[in-house]
Amino acid sequence: MRELSYFLNPETPDILAQMAVKYIIVPFDSEGEIFIAEHQYNHQQREEVEEFLDTIPWLKKIKVTDKIAVYEIPSYKDHFFLDNSPINQLRISNYELTRNSQFAIEQLSNEVREIKMIDPTKYLVSLRISEAPVNLVFSETYDELWQAKMGKRIIPSTLYNNLNSFSVDQAGDFEIVVEFTAQKYVYWGLVVSAFTLLMSAGVLVYLFILSSGGRL
């Protein structure tokens, strides 16, 4: 299967990690819809896929059941992560310097502190940024309708390895709202549909009253 050559690319582990992929699963395919040759299910094809993945050195096979094969990615990132974040920066505390003869060294880093999923189209992300700018990467397939909000400020999504990325140029501890803007039109559509349904029901009741001579 030509698609398996993807696992031979040396960049594949990093790409999967950025996409927050933790496991590769070869399913049982009980419906016979995946491993097909000459328009029918081919169990040998499934075995060949599993044997191929067994040869990939960076995939760790996990024993689950005999019917499915599970492989663990060596490392994976969270749904949100920071790119180009400074690591192991050092800061000398002036207060400690005046009190003690020894330097007080505090390690600094940019970090995603917490991720809250309000719903599948809206996330609240808590950040601690010691040095800006940085890119907040969201491991969903890129779509320009994703956007981030810092207070009243809107940050558009930019392309990052086929994922969404938001440029953060503010330092400190703060929260960012990441949401899919098209969802609001879905909500408005539901409101309009509900209003239309109520109006239709009202008209039917009114017509029924008229047809019955004003008697309920």
pLDDT single digits (tens) 161-174: 889 999 999 999 99
pLDDT of residue 92: 34
Q: For 38-51, what is each residue's pLDDT tens digit?
A: 777 777 888 889 99
Listed in sequence order, the DSSP H helices in the chain are: 12-18, 43-54, 94-99, 183-211
Say yes or no to pLDDT of 198 above 90.
Answer: no
- Determine the pLDDT at residue 37: 77
Q: For residues 35 and 48, give the distance between their C-alpha atoms in angstroms, rounded to a whole number.
A: 10
